[in-house]
Amino acid sequence: MRMSQLLMPTLRETPAEAEIVSHQLLLRAGYIRRSSAGIYHYLPLAHRVLQKIMAIVREEMNKAGGQEILMPIVQPAELWQESGRWQVYGDELFRLKDRHDRDFCLSPTHEEIVTDLVRSTVRSYRDLPLSVYQIANKYRDERRPRFGLMRGREFIMKDQYSFDRDEAGLDQAYQTMYEAYKRVFTRCGLTFRPVEADAGAIGGAGGTHEFMVLAESGEASLVYCDACDYAANVEKAECQAPALAENVTEFPLEKKSTPGQKTIEQVAAFLAVAPATTIKTLVYRADDQLVMVLVRGDRELNEIKLGNLLGCLELRMATDVECQEAQLGPVGFLGPIGVQAVSIYADQEVMALTDAVVGANETDMHWVHVLPGRDFSVTAVADLRMIEVGEPCPACGAPLQAARGIEVGQVFKLGTKYSKALGCTYLDEKGQENPMVMGCYGIGVSRTMAATVEQNYDEHGIIWPLAIAPFGVVVVPVSNKDEGQMAAAQEIYEQLKLSGWDVLLDDRAERPGVKFKDADLIGIPLRVTVGNKLASDGVVELKVRKTGEQFLLQREEVLSKINALRQQLAPTE
Amino acid sequence: MRMSQLLMPTLRETPAEAEIVSHQLLLRAGYIRRSSAGIYHYLPLAHRVLQKIMAIVREEMNKAGGQEILMPIVQPAELWQESGRWQVYGDELFRLKDRHDRDFCLSPTHEEIVTDLVRSTVRSYRDLPLSVYQIANKYRDERRPRFGLMRGREFIMKDQYSFDRDEAGLDQAYQTMYEAYKRVFTRCGLTFRPVEADAGAIGGAGGTHEFMVLAESGEASLVYCDACDYAANVEKAECQAPALAENVTEFPLEKKSTPGQKTIEQVAAFLAVAPATTIKTLVYRADDQLVMVLVRGDRELNEIKLGNLLGCLELRMATDVECQEAQLGPVGFLGPIGVQAVSIYADQEVMALTDAVVGANETDMHWVHVLPGRDFSVTAVADLRMIEVGEPCPACGAPLQAARGIEVGQVFKLGTKYSKALGCTYLDEKGQENPMVMGCYGIGVSRTMAATVEQNYDEHGIIWPLAIAPFGVVVVPVSNKDEGQMAAAQEIYEQLKLSGWDVLLDDRAERPGVKFKDADLIGIPLRVTVGNKLASDGVVELKVRKTGEQFLLQREEVLSKINALRQQLAPTE
**pLDDT per residue over B301-353, tens digit each?**
999 899 989 988 889 999 999 998 888 888 889 999 999 989 999 999 999 99
Instruction: State the virtual CA torsion across B45, B46, B52, B53 in degrees, nearest 10.
Output: 160
- pLDDT value at residue B327: 87
Same domain, B362 and B261: yes
Domain match, B369 and B423 both: no
A41·B94 Cβ contact <8 A: no
The answer to whether position B242 is within a domain reads no
Q: Name every chain B residue with its beta carbon within 8 A of the beta carbon of A130.
A: 7
Q: What is the CATH number of the domain that holds B268?
A: 3.90.960.10
Phi, psi of B71 (to 5 degrees): -110, 160
Per the domain annotation, does B208 fall within a domain? Answer: no
**A443 pLDDT more than 70:** yes
**Looking at beta carbons, which residues of chain A come within 8 Å of B154?**
72-74
Taking 60 as the threshold, does the pLDDT of residue A155 lie above it? yes
Report pLDDT for B549.
95
Q: Give the pLDDT confidence of B65-102 residue by residue, as tens digits.
A: 999 999 999 999 999 999 999 988 889 999 999 999 99
Which tens digit of pLDDT belongs to each residue from B129-179?
Answer: 999 999 999 999 998 898 999 999 999 999 999 999 999 999 999 999 999
Q: Which residues pair with B233 in a beta bridge?
A: B222
pLDDT band at B235 (very low <50, low <70, confident <90, very high): confident
Å between B55 CA and nearest CA of chain A: 12
Chain B: nearest CA to A186, how far in angstroms? Answer: 26
Comparing CA positions, the residue from A146, A305, A140 lying closest to residue A236 is A305
Mutate to test the interface with A, among B10, B98, B445 (most CBs of A within 10 A): B98
Q: How far is B171 from chain A (nearest CA, A)?
A: 19
C-alpha pair distances (Å), A193 with each of A212, A444, A477, B66:
5, 15, 41, 38
Residues of chain A with pLDDT > 90, as a percent, come to 82
Average of pLDDT values for B187-208?
79
Report d(CA A113, CA B36) in Å as an integer: 11
Instruction: Please tell me which residue, B543 or B206, carries the higher pLDDT value.
Output: B543
How many domains in chain B?
3
* A77 in a structural domain: yes
The mean pLDDT of chain B is: 93
Instruction: Tell me how many residue pairs between chain A and chain B have CB atoms under 8 A apart.
Output: 154
Backbone region of residue B117 per phi and psi (left: phi > 0; alpha: psi in -120 to 50; beta: other values): alpha
Closest listed residue to residue A447, CA positions, set A50, A37, A136: A50
SS3 category, A462: strand
Identify the residue among A2, A4, A32, A41 best suited for mutation to test binding to B, counting B beta carbons within 10 A and taking the highest. Answer: A41
Residue B16 has pLDDT above 90, yes or no: no
Q: Torsions phi, psi of B97, nearest 5?
A: -120, 145
Q: Tell me the CATH number at A213.
A: 3.30.930.10
Which of A31, A82, A99, A429 should we substitute to test contact with B (largest number of B Cβ atoms within 10 Å)? Answer: A99
Do B416 and B303 belong to one domain? no
A158 and A263: one domain?
Answer: no
Cβ of A36 within 8 Å of Cβ of B116? The answer is no
B162 and B64 housed in the same domain: yes
Count of other CB atoms within 10 angstroms of residue B489: 25
For residue B556, give the DSSP letter. G
Instruction: Mark yes or no for CB contact A71/B41 under 8 Å.
Output: yes
Does the pLDDT at position B294 exceed 90? yes
Domain boundary pick from A320, A354, A382? A382
User: For residue A137, which residues of chain B lie inside 8 Å, CB to CB?
Assistant: 73, 137
Mark whether A280 and A350 lie in a shared domain. yes
In the predicted model, what is the mean pLDDT of residues B14-27?
92
Is residue A431 domain-shared with residue A549, that is, in the same domain? no
Facing A99 at nearest CB: one of B44, B132, B141: B141
**CA separation for the pair A235, A197 (Å, rounded):** 7
Nearest residue, CB atoms, B69 vs list A42, A116, A141: A42
Compute how many other C-beta atoms are within 10 angstroms of the C-beta atom of residue A160: 27
- pLDDT tens, B393-426? 988 989 999 999 999 999 999 999 999 999 999 9
Give the chain B residue nearest A143 (alpha carbons).
Answer: B99
Q: Nearest CA to CA, how far is B456 from chain A (Å)?
A: 23
Q: Which residues of A touch B41 (CB under 8 A)?
A: 69-72, 113, 117
Q: Over 80: is that where the pLDDT of B442 sits? A: yes
d(CA B238, CA B41): 42
Domain of B491: which CATH number? 3.40.50.800
Whether B203 has a pLDDT exceeding 90, the answer reads no
Asked if residue A57 has pLDDT above 70, the reply is yes
- Pick the last residue of a domain from A382, A414, A444: A382
Confidence of residue B472 (pLDDT cuts 50, 70, 90): very high
A44 to B67: CB separation less than 8 angstroms, yes or no: yes
Q: Answer yes or no: is B20 within a domain.
A: no
SS3 content of chain A, % helix, strand, coil (to 5): 30, 30, 40
Q: What is the nearest CA distance from B89 to chain A, expressed in angstroms?
A: 13
Overall average pLDDT of the A508-537 stretch? 95
Percent pLDDT > 70 in chain A is: 98
Q: How far apart are CA A488 and CA A309, in angstroms?
A: 69
Look at residue A48 and tell me whether its pLDDT is greater than 80: yes
Q: Are residues B53 and B190 in the same domain?
A: yes
Assess contact for B356 and B345: CB atoms under 8 A.
no
Cβ-defined contact of A106 to B39 (cutoff 8 Å): no
Interface residue of A7, A101, A113 to substitute, partner B, most B CBs within 10 Å: A7
Residue A450 and residue A481 in one domain: no
Nearest-CA distance from B409 to chain A in Å?
Answer: 22
> Does the pLDDT at position A95 exceed 80?
yes
Q: What is the pLDDT of residues A479-507, one digit of tens each?
A: 988 999 999 999 999 999 999 999 999 99
Residue B565 belongs to a domain: yes
Give Cα A428 to chain centroid, integer Å.
37
Q: What is the pLDDT of residue A244?
A: 81
The pLDDT, as a whole number, for residue B480 is 84
How far from the centroid of its chain's Cα atoms is residue B106's Cα?
23
Is the torsion defined by CA of A338, A252, A369, A372 positive or negative? negative
Q: Which of B399, B424, B454 is the last residue of a domain?
A: B454
**What domain range is B41 assigned to?**
35-198+410-454
Q: For residue A315, count CB atoms less than 10 angstroms from its CB and return exposed for 0-12, middle for 13-18, buried for 19 or more.
A: middle
Q: What is the pLDDT of residue B206?
A: 64
Contact A9 B121 (CB under 8 A): yes
**Mean pLDDT on A158-162:** 98
Q: Is B47 close to A33, i.e. CB distance below 8 A? A: no
Q: Give the integer Cα–Cα distance in Å for B48 and B267.
A: 59
- Residue B144: phi and psi, rounded to 5, are -135, 80
The angle subtended at Cα A149 by Cα A147 and Cα A151, nearest 5°, is 60
- DSSP codes joined into one string, A528-572: EEE-HHHHHHSEEEEEETTT--EEEEEGGGHHHHHHHHHHHHSPP
Q: What is the sign of the dihedral through the CA atoms of A210, A215, A218 and A221?
A: positive
Which residue among A43, A91, A116 sits closest to B99, beta carbon to beta carbon?
Answer: A91
Q: Average the pLDDT over A309-316 and give the result.
A: 88
Q: What is the per-residue pLDDT for A331?
A: 86
pLDDT one-digit tens code per residue, B453-467: 999 999 999 999 999
Q: Quick check: is A336 in a domain?
A: yes
* CB nearest A121 (choices: B9, B71, B73): B9
- Residues sharing a CB contact under 8 Å with residue A167, sequence separation 6 or more, in sequence order: A205, A415, A437
pLDDT at site A219: 87
B449 and B474, same domain (yes or no): no
A93 domain residue, yes or no: yes
CA-closest candidate to residue A565, choices A522, A527, A515: A527
Rounded to the nearest 5°, which phi and psi values hold at B340? -120, -25
Same domain assignment for residues A65 and A182: yes
The minimum CA-CA distance between A227 and chain B, rounded to whole Å, is 40
Of A411, A57, A450, the C-alpha closest to A211 is A411
- The answer to whether position B314 is within a domain reads yes
Within this chain, do residues B351 and B478 fall inside the same structural domain, yes or no? no
All residues of chain A having their beta carbon less than 8 Å from the beta carbon of residue B127 are 7
